[in-house]
Amino acid sequence: MPPRLHRVAVPLLTACLLTLATACGGGGGDTAGTAAKPGEKIKLTVGLFGDFGFKPLYEEYRKTHPNIEITENVTQFNDHHNNLVKRLATNAGADDIEAVEVGYISTFTAQPAKFYDLKQYGLDKRQGEYLDWKWQQGLSKQGGQLLGLGTDVGGLAMCYRKDLFAKAGLPTDRTEVAALWPTWEKYIETGRKFAAAGVAGAKFVDSPGEIFRAMVNQAPTGLYDDQDQIIVGSNPAVKQAWDLSNQLTSEKLTAKLAAFTPPWNTGFAKGSFATIICPAWMTGFIQEQAKDAAGKWDIATVPGGSGNSGGSHLMIPRQSKHPKEAAELIDFLTSKENQAKVFKEEGTFPSIPALYDDPSIQSFTKPFFGDAPIGKIYSAAAKALKPQHLGPKEAEVRVAIGNGLGRVEQGKQTPDQAWAQVLEDVKKIK
Amino acid sequence: MSSLPLAVARRRHRRGVRHTLDVRVSPYAYVAPFLLLFCAFGLFPLAYTAWVSLHDWTLLSDEHAFVGAANYATLLADGYFWNAVFNTLSIGVLSTAPQLVLAIWLAHLLNRPLRFQTLFRVSLLLPNVTSVVAVVVIFSQLFGRDFGLINWVLSWFGAGAVDWAAGTATSHVALSTMIMWRWTGYNALIFLAAMQAVPRELYEAATLDGASGFTQLRRITLPMIRPTIVFVVVVSTIGAMQIIAEPLLFSASTGAGGVGASGGPDRQYQTLALFVYEQGFTKFDFGYAAAASWLMFVAVVLVAGINYLITRRMRGGLA
């Protein structure tokens, strides 16, 4: 092809192809992946749910990569993941880097064709650093491709209000509090004592929903078995968690405030509940929501042994025009140093075990939580973690069960009626 | 020499063709933009939705198996679907009926020489221009269980805290209030416009005869604006069949079932449109959602059809 013709034909052809691709609504033309010329400005977008504490990192990244411009798009948890599904299906609108929470990770790793394989960009070199199960979660179902790199893990702990505990005549020291609840039964018993003391305007716990999730996450298997079959109806651990959660309701220990709703936020500010299940990332939430309550919250170990609740991965959808640059940014955001930094700022706990014994983490305390040694608490929780297999419709199953707990909480059904309906609902999930 | 008349004839003929073309084709050209847009955004989605509804179609996979009417069969046996139908009708009636009465009353109040007339009229429209998100967020706080204004007022009279979002009836009342807040003023303005077309002489004569304000409203105003009433009724019912934003946001901003789009943990206020949204955009079951939206379309057509029959009757009665 003569050079002049080439110069005209290539953009023309690209334009035609692009128009065609958009006209067909997702023909899926793989026009991406072209390396940027040096010195060219590149815009990367990062899609998150909630604050990941990445903002200072972007600033830092810009110093070494002056040609990269980073925009962060934050949406609510449910919207974020639903939108991502839509954007993948329509092949338009996804960000260059998308955060995916662990409840949805299997949904997306089941679609390896929609994401870049990060091995292509050499990120498999990071495998040795990661918790093995966290690494595995980011692999495609058949295991061949590396689709997501982990950010944080949600090792469990229990946060409690010291002032409310004192009012109820309960101990306030975190080791004594931890000794109150080695098991969930003991936790409920403590709740009973708290309720008996009659602290005005305060219940023992916010709502049973997150407690249920934590209890299920502590079991060796949860909502799915290893073959991706839903085992809600047959797993005794799930039924036990259900019964204990409803016991909280029937004994009137909950403030009936569903997590992440505006009334729940108000509840934080007003001190409507004395305990809340505290995966590491929750500490950031509490700090944000209960600004006036500095020094009143403290952290103790969780009843019933360790478990993981939450945590995320970063993925690059096929739509991204700059996968190479996005992969570099992911490598940076999830690096050992930066995970440590984010933990200290935002509370999300690293998924890199080498950090757990790091003196700077081990000695890390937070004044907001009465100088609780949160580094030590969450390291211990993360080390004791037994990973659990998560299925593709994890989030949907959780919604069905959450609604069941809600029906009991609102007094619409008995726990048995609600359980029967949950099983019906779950059966319909394809 | 004969070429000249021939040329003239040809030219005339050409002009004639151009003229017929103009008369025959131009009208279509003029309405073409609308038709094209209507096909692209009205007809095509409708047909495509019907096509999708015949498939096992999820957003998560690229394969769509043809299943015939299976989605419709499942849907008609789905208790949650009928629950949504009931909620839609209940919220629709609860919001539309008092709304129209209120709107007529407001219009009647404004249909007289008043100071600051424009101010009153503009303020009627204000709730309608407020974003629905703002309205629902504010009202959800008013209807809050623990710290809501309404429960606080009720507590003066010794009433216990009402969990508005939890109950079926109470949540319907709360949602209807939001809908009424947004649309009463708008409908009042339409009524007001119709009332101003009623000849003044009728009122003057009635006043001379000693008819009270209320009698004038009942005997003169209402019969004279009947076509407008019917129009507003039809439009409001169609609107009521499609309520989605209010319940969706209500569930997100109250504690009751903030998860998903189920409209409360017991689906106590899940409307039809919200049911479609839940199936399509949180469960990604597009085939099922498409079938549900087709049935919803049929329901809207049915309701509109019934209203059309009433309209014809009433016009006949007036003429």
Nearest CA in chain A to B255: A258
B91 contacts B307 by C-beta, under 8 angstroms: no
Nearest CA in chain A to B163: A410
B176 contacts B97 by C-beta, under 8 angstroms: no
**For residue A347, how many other CB atoms are within 10 A of its CB?**
25
3-state secondary structure chain B: CCHHHHHHHHHHHHHHHHHHHHHHHHHHHHHHHHHHHHHHHHHHHHHHHHHHCCEECECCCCCCEECCCHHHHHHHCCHHHHHHHHHHHHHHHHHHHHHHHHHHHHHHHHCCCCCCHHHHHHHHHHHHHCCHHHHHHHHHHHCCCCCCHHHHHHHHCCCCCCCCCCCHHHHHHHHHHHHHHHHHHHHHHHHHHHHHCCCHHHHHHHHHCCCCHHHHHHHHHHHHCHHHHHHHHHHHHHHHHCCCHHHHHHHHHCCCCCCCCCCCCCCCCCCHHHHHHHHHHHCCEHHHHHHHHHHHHHHHHHHHHHHHHHHHHHHHHHC
How many residue contacts between A and B have a Cβ separation below 8 Å? 93
Q: How far is A261 from chain B (nearest CA, A)?
A: 6
Cβ contact, residue pair A258, B259, below 8 Å? yes
Q: How far is A263 from chain B (nearest CA, A)?
A: 6
Q: How far is A409 from chain B (nearest CA, A)?
A: 9
Q: Kindly report the pTM of this predicted structure.
A: 0.82
Q: Which residues pair with A155 in a beta bridge?
A: A308
> For residue A265, what pLDDT is reported?
87
pLDDT digits (tens, 9 = 90+) for B76-112: 999 999 999 999 999 998 999 899 999 999 999 888 8
pLDDT digits (tens, 9 = 90+) for A57-111: 999 999 999 999 999 999 988 889 989 999 998 899 999 999 999 989 998 998 8
Residue numbers in A near B145 (CB within 8 A): 256, 263
- For residue A11, give every residue at least 6 positions away whose Cβ sits within 8 Å of its Cβ, in sequence order, or none: none
Listed in order, strand segments (DSSP E) in A195-327 are 203-205, 273-277, 297-300, 308-315
Residue numbers in A near B281 (CB within 8 A): 82, 86
B159-181 burial by CB neighbour count: b if 16+ within 10 A, else e?
A: eeebbbbbbbebbbbbbbbbbbb
The residue to which tokens 């495609």 are assigned: A140
> For residue B4, what pLDDT is reported?
60
Residue ranges in chain A modelled with pLDDT below 50 = 1-5, 8-34
Q: Is A265 on the interface with B (CB under 8 A)?
A: no
- Residue in B146, B260, B266 closest to A412 by CB: B266
Query: Same CATH fold, A155-310+373-428 and A36-153+311-355?
Result: yes
> For residue B277, what pLDDT is reported?
93
Q: What is the mean pLDDT of residues B8-34?
A: 86
Reported as half-sphere exposure (CB side, CA atoms, 13 A), residue B196 has a value of: 10
Residue numbers in B near A85 (CB within 8 A): 59-60, 284
Q: How far is A94 from chain B (nearest CA, A)?
A: 15
Q: Is A270 on the interface with B (CB under 8 A)?
A: yes
> For residue B15, what pLDDT is reported?
81
> For residue A12, what pLDDT is reported?
46
Q: What are the C-alpha distances in Å from B287 to residues A86, A255, B67, B199?
A: 15, 39, 9, 55
Residue boundaries of the structural domains of chain A: 36-153+311-355, 155-310+373-428
pLDDT digits (tens, 9 = 90+) for A343-400: 998 889 999 999 999 998 999 999 899 899 999 999 988 888 878 888 888 888 998 9
Q: Is B40 on the interface with A (CB under 8 A)?
A: no
Q: Mutation target for A interface from B44, B57, B60: give the one with most A CBs within 10 A.
A: B60
Q: How far is the C-alpha of A265 from the C-alpha of A184, rounded, in Å? A: 25
Cβ contact, residue pair B146, A266, below 8 Å? yes
Distance of CA A104 to the CA centre of its chain: 9
Cβ contact, residue pair A406, B256, below 8 Å? yes
Q: Is A410 on the interface with B (CB under 8 A)?
A: yes
Classify domain B73-318 by CATH number. 1.10.3720.10
> For residue B311, what pLDDT is reported?
63
What 3-state DSSP class applies to A366?
strand
Q: What are the C-alpha distances in Å from A430 to residues A87, B8, B77, B290?
A: 21, 76, 17, 17
Average pLDDT of the residues of chain B: 87
> For residue A293, what pLDDT is reported?
86
CATH topology of domain A155-310+373-428: D-Maltodextrin-Binding Protein; domain 2 (3.40.190)
Which CATH architecture fits A36-153+311-355? 3-Layer(aba) Sandwich (3.40)
> For residue A17, what pLDDT is reported?
42
Interface of B with A in 128-167 (CB under 8 A): 137, 140-141, 144-147, 163, 166
Q: What stretch of H or E contains A100?
A: strand A97-101
Cβ contact, residue pair B259, A110, below 8 Å? no
- For residue A303, give every residue at least 6 positions away whose Cβ sits within 8 Å of its Cβ, in sequence order, or none: A158, A181, A182, A183, A184, A186, A187
pLDDT digits (tens, 9 = 90+) for B171-222: 999 999 999 999 999 999 999 999 999 999 999 999 999 998 889 888 888 8
> For residue A186, what pLDDT is reported?
95
Q: What stretch of H or E contains A48?
A: strand A42-49
Q: Is A256 on the interface with B (CB under 8 A)?
A: yes
The residue to which tokens 């597009």 are assigned: B286
Cβ contact, residue pair A89, B140, below 8 Å? no
Token digits of residue B88 = 């839609």
